[in-house]
């Protein structure tokens, strides 16, 4: 009620709390015990009234109702508290007219919490209405509908709030822009994830002193217990039901396929929003620990905020199965055996992976992994730390990987995805057990990923390939590959095998490239039987920079009689739209008449130069034809005159002649 309407007016707010006599007596005899985690904190600084209605006044100084220093901006605030014989507590606060009531500020938020018969705020245990169907239905990564864009301003605000004094003031500052329980949880989550560092040393030493909220605010370091405890404490101050959930986790130091027993190694939180429990982990939302250096790095991870329980169970197993929030709940054995999809698996848009177990046994020396994604995604893999011994082909919504371990035994397979960022992140990890090696499936060391054309090659300007499959078999050691090329795109190809010394020049000399009407053709001749990587690169002609790798084919030939020579060497004036019909071999026989037939564009004259010079003539079909004799020469050149008014001929092709 308001007393006056002048500048010195004060307001009186009354908070009526009814306790049983037993509860009131307990307050008097056990005030030094640690408060029940669900109970409202007891006021230690103000005067506690004595029974029989006896009252007295005291200025609201020292510690407030939460044990923190009273706010200095309200020095005139006064509080009176009284008990009567029926267990009724009456608290009256007198404060300046323009100030927020301190008791109302603290207790009005807490009134939403459920209370038991003794006045404790004990959140209800999860039940059937909290449970989500397992396995994941792919509907959302979150356990409730969220539009993260609506949090952008709130997140920016929360991340910039600084600690001024105690925890209560920090929560009060955070709640200035929060207008719902969801927003209250969000600002607390964002602040913790951006300000509290994981304390590796304290975690290893299990130094519980370091996990007290006051110490955490001072050092801004803690471990998972501290993260969870701080989050729960801040939520309770904000008036949101929150619980700390202990359990096992597949976190730092986890080994694929390991079993769990003994002491729990992690803790996280459950929050009660919109009539249902939800899960979050601020420890893992804040950053990560480098396994090599054991150093923590702040790296915000949205995935662990209100995560869908069917996804949360992949790396969090609570001590009480009810906190899985799943129907049906999973057993510890299932948790140990189920495939572990890292958070980046879902952050990068992955939906599923097969096999669904973390340990794979090869069949006839081969294992296959497939991943389904909600959008086209780039992938790569590493087997024992190297990008070898596998064929990874991209699909419109995912990828397929065939892996061939080089030795019998246990191997580590990691799969990475790029998503919308420029960085590949580890999304899957398998343990491969191989009991047989097929030596006939040895792959070239230079076979990079991906193999075969895909949506990515089309995106890079290569379309409608003649060979859509990644593997090309040839019985005579020759093949021709063609594809459409987007205007303004240049194509470069090279051949790589594991047999014999091959220079960068010879890597391209076993390929002869022509281009007609926006379609490129690659004629390939293999130097011997075996497996080869045919790499395809592209670049925009008018832009500076190097060619970019797009994909490669795997060429296979089992014919041991194959021994094709290189194609002739081409020079800069050889246009991509030129066509060579003969001779295709870069090595000509000695003392022979050799026919030549080429299609050349935009030239006035053409000739072949060896020991002598032989002109080529243009026929009705548009081909330059003629022949030359290789007697007495070691090299033969094809030369062209581009302008009839000049006498300068340019070299476009070079052949070698066999020794006599």
Cα 250 to Cα 266: distance, rounded to the nearest angstrom = 9
Active site residue 374: no
Number of CB atoms found within 10 A of residue 523's CB: 17
Cα 317 to Cα 249: distance, rounded to the nearest angstrom = 6
- How many angstroms separate the most distant Cα atoms in the chain? 129
Neighbour order of strands in the sheet with 316-318: 276-280, 266-273, 242-249, 316-318
Residue by residue, DSSP assigns 78-111 as: EEEEEE-TTSEEEEEEEEETTSPPHHHHHHHHHT
Burial label for 75, CB within 10 Å (0-12, 13-18, 19+), is exposed
Cα 566 to Cα 569: distance, rounded to the nearest angstrom = 8
In the chain, the N- to C-terminal Cα span, in Å, equals: 118
Q: Are 153 and 159 in contact (CB under 8 A)?
A: no
Q: Are 15 and 104 in contact (CB under 8 A)?
A: yes
Number of CB atoms found within 10 A of residue 623's CB: 16
Q: Are 237 and 216 in contact (CB under 8 A)?
A: no
Q: Are 534 and 616 in contact (CB under 8 A)?
A: no
Active site residue 556: no
**CA 3 from centre of chain:** 61
What percent helix, strand, coil does the chain show, rounded to 5? Answer: 20, 35, 45
Cα 165 to Cα 584: distance, rounded to the nearest angstrom = 83
Catalytic residue, chosen from 155, 281, 315, 402, is 281
Catalytic residue, chosen from 13, 64, 224, 341, is 224
Number of CB atoms found within 10 A of residue 569's CB: 19
Active site residue 438: no
Catalytic residue, chosen from 66, 132, 195, 266, is 266
Could you list the active site residues?
224, 266, 281
């Amino acid at each position: 009620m308001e007393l006056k309407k002048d500048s010195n007016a004060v307001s009186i707010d009354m908070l009526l709390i009814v306790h049983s006599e037993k509860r009131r007596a307990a307050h008097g005899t056990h005030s030094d015990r640690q408060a029940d985690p669900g109970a409202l904190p007891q006021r230690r600084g103000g005067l506690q009234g004595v029974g029989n209605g006896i009252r007295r006044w005291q200025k609201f100084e020292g510690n407030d109702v939460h044990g923190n220093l009273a706010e200095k901006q309200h020095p005139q605030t006064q509080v009176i508290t009284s008990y009567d014989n029926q267990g009724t507590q009456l608290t009256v606060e007198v404060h300046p007219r323009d100030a927020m009531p301190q008791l109302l500020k603290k207790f009005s938020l807490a009134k939403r919490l459920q209370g038991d018969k003794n006045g404790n705020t004990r959140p209800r245990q999860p039940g059937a209405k909290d449970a989500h169907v397992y396995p994941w239905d792919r509907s959302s990564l979150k356990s409730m509908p969220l539009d993260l864009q609506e949090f952008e301003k709130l997140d920016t605000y929360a991340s910039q709030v600084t600690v001024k004094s105690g925890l209560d003031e920090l929560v009060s500052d955070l709640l200035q822009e929060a207008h719902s329980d969801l927003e209250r949880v969000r600002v607390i989550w964002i602040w913790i994830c951006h300000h509290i560092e994981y304390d590796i040393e304290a975690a290893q030493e299990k130094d519980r002193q370091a996990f007290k909220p006051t110490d955490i605010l001072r050092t801004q370091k803690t471990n998972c217990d501290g993260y969870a405890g701080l989050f729960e404490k801040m939520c309770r101050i904000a008036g949101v039901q929150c619980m700390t959930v202990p359990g096992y986790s597949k976190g730092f130091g986890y080994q694929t396929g390991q079993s769990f027993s003994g002491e729990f190694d992690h803790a996280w939180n459950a929050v009660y929003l919109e009539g249902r429990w939800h899960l979050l982990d601020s420890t893992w939302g804040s950053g990560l620990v480098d396994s090599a250096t054991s150093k923590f790095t702040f790296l915000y991870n949205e995935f662990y905020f209100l995560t869908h329980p069917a996804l949360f169970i992949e790396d969090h197993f609570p001590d009480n199965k009810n906190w899985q929030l799943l129907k049906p709940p999973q057993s510890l054995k299932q948790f140990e055996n189920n495939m572990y999809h890292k958070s980046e698996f879902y952050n990068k848009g992955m939906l599923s992976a097969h096999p669904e177990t973390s340990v794979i046994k090869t069949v006839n020396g081969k294992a296959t992994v497939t991943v389904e994604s909600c959008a086209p995604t780039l992938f790569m893999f590493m087997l024992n730390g190297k990008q070898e011994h596998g064929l990874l082909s991209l699909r419109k919504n995912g990828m397929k990987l065939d892996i061939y371990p080089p030795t019998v035994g246990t191997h580590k397979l990691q799969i990475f995805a790029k998503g919308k960022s420029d960085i590949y992140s580890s999304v899957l990890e398998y343990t491969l057990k191989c009991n047989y090696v097929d030596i006939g499936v040895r792959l070239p060391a230079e076979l990079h990923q991906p193999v075969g054309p895909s949506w990515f090659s089309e995106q890079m300007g290569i379309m409608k390939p003649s060979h859509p499959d990644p593997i090309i078999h040839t019985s005579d050691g020759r093949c021709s590959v063609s594809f459409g090329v987007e205007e303004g795109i240049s194509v470069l190809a090279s051949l790589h095998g594991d047999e014999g010394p091959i220079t960068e020049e010879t890597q391209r000399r076993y390929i002869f490239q022509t281009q007609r009407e926006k379609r490129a053709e690659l004629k390939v001749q293999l130097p011997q039987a075996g497996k080869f990587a045919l790499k395809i690169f592209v670049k925009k002609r008018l832009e500076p920079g190097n060619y970019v790798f797009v994909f490669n084919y795997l060429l296979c030939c089992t014919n041991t009689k194959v021994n094709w020579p290189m194609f002739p060497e081409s020079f800069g004036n050889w246009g991509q739209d030129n066509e060579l019909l003969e001779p295709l071999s870069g090595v000509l026989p000695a003392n022979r008449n050799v026919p030549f037939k080429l299609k050349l564009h935009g030239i006035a004259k053409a000739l072949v130069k060896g020991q002598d010079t032989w002109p080529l003539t243009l026929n009705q079909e548009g081909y330059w034809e003629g022949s030359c004799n290789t007697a007495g020469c070691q090299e033969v050149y094809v030369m062209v005159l581009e302008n009839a008014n000049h006498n300068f001929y340019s070299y476009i092709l070079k052949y070698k002649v066999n020794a006599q």
